[in-house]
Chains A and B, each alone.
Chain A
Amino acid sequence: ETGVTQSPTHLIKTRGQQVTLRCSSQSGHNTVSWYQQALGQGPQFIFQYYREEENGRGNFPPRFSGLQFPNYSSELNVNALELDDSALYLCASTPRDQKVADTQYFGPGTRLTVL
């Protein structure tokens, strides 16, 4: 158990729709990162939030956006879904004042299928 939960577990959408994925971190984890993992590949960094502000972004278009809330929960929003957005979406949280890459606790992921 990592203490990080994600919802929903699975989701099916059609091309052009919008989707919101949710993540709940442990209390005190101020940093959350989101990753996209396509089938057979390693995770790709989407962005990171620290204290409710975007703290870094990978090579993803603006239709990928996020929010972080004071209660240690966060959201990943994807607009205008494309077939290539089909993937496992992972969130990872980091304890307060620790370097992100030292200790990341991953949620179980949300598997998104875009038809």
Chain B
Amino acid sequence: GIQVEQSPPDLILQEGANSTLRCNFSDSVNNLQWFHQNPWGQLINLFYIPSGTKQNGRLSATTVATERYSLLYISSSQTTDSGVYFCPVLRMDSNYQLIWGAGTKLIIKP
């Protein structure tokens, strides 16, 4: 089945730093999303981004579907950015089953 690999697995940064999180997927997908899971477990949608580039404040994302990867950029990190970031994808032969990787755990130190 399709595999989702995220890197780095862990990232520790000082407040104010910038970061890039990467998501590789092994097969063509219908779409890709980025989620942030806060330390209490709540998952929040960040982007729905099957292709192209989107920006929302300090966050932006780019997906290059032909090369099977997506990047999430976080600028001027804040302690509230801490948590785990996921990039689930939807298989081409499915309209409901998201496939998730293990995530990138981000810790922002004050």
Q: What band does the interface of chain B fall in when counting residues whose beta carbon is under 8 Å from A?
A: 20 to 34
**Which listed residue, A31, A45, A109, A111, touches B98 by the CB 8 Å rule?**
A45
Task: Please tell me if the beta carbons of B43 and A101 are within 8 angstroms of each other in the complex.
Answer: no
Given known contacts A43-B100, A56-B97, A99-B95, is B43 in contact with A106 (CB within 8 Å)? Answer: yes
Q: What band does the interface of chain A fall in when counting residues whose beta carbon is under 8 Å from B?
A: 20 to 34
Task: Please tell me if the beta carbons of A90 and B98 are within 8 angstroms of each other in the complex.
Answer: no
Task: Please tell me if the beta carbons of B95 and A100 are within 8 angstroms of each other in the complex.
Answer: yes
Given known contacts A88-B41, A99-B95, A104-B45, is B33 in contact with A42 (CB within 8 Å)? Answer: no
Query: For residues 29 through 85 of chain A, which have their beta carbon under 8 Å from a beta carbon of chain B?
Result: 31, 33, 40-45, 48, 55-56, 58
Q: Does any Cβ of B come within 8 Å of A102's Cβ?
A: yes
Q: Which residue of B lies closest to A108 (CB)?
A: B42
Bound-state Cα–Cα, A110 to B88, Å: 21
Q: Which residue of A lies closest to B98 (CB)?
A: A101
**Which listed residue, A44, A101, A103, touches B95 by the CB 8 Å rule?**
A101
Q: Does any Cβ of A come within 8 Å of B17's Cβ?
A: no
